[in-house]
Amino acid sequence: MNIDSIKNGYVIDHIKAGRAMRIYELLHLNDLDCQVAIITNAKSKKTGTKDIIKIDRDIPINLDALGFIDHNTTVNIVKNDKIVEKKKLSLPEKIVNLATCSNPRCITSSEKTLDQIFILTDKENEVYRCKYCEMSLKKKQ
């Protein structure tokens, strides 16, 4: 398998196996006119297998969204063929429009223009609560 190196862009590494397509969709990578490589089930010494995404363009990336999907992910920033920075992610304290409240009585059910905002209330169990009605959202593994 031959995948070109990145000149300027990102290598999103250590993605839990099977989650790369969710990140691809979330970041709207299909809308880009540059090279994007998705490597699934790559060998990993730490976890056995992992996914990797390589993006050959400097684009804005929502690190909170990536942290919500998989907070063990690493984002490597590449400039002039060299990794210039590595960002380790964590669970974001707040997520906006990454999940929807399941409470039919929540104001977001009737006010469709309101942002869906969830606040991290239990980091250990990865539980978020709706800002408006406090309905619990357990992050899906």
Q: What is the pLDDT of residue 26?
A: 86
Q: What is the pLDDT of residue 1?
A: 58
Q: What's domain 9-88's architecture?
A: 2-Layer Sandwich (3.30)
pLDDT digits (tens, 9 = 90+) for 35-59: 999 999 999 888 899 999 999 999 9
pTM, 2 dp: 0.82
User: CA-to-CA distance for 74 and 51, rounded, in angstroms?
Assistant: 11
Residue 37 token pair? 């490589």
Spatial CB neighbours of 27, under 8 Å, sequence gap ≥ 6: 59, 61, 62, 65
Query: Does position 71 have pLDDT exceeding 80, yes or no?
Result: yes
Q: Do residues 138 and 91 lie in contact, with contact meaning Cβ atoms separated by under 8 Å?
A: no
Q: What is the pLDDT of residue 133?
A: 96
Domain boundaries, the chain: 9-88, 94-138
Q: Do residues 101 and 110 lie in contact, with contact meaning Cβ atoms separated by under 8 Å?
A: no
Q: According to the CATH classification, is domain 94-138 in 2.30.30.20?
A: yes
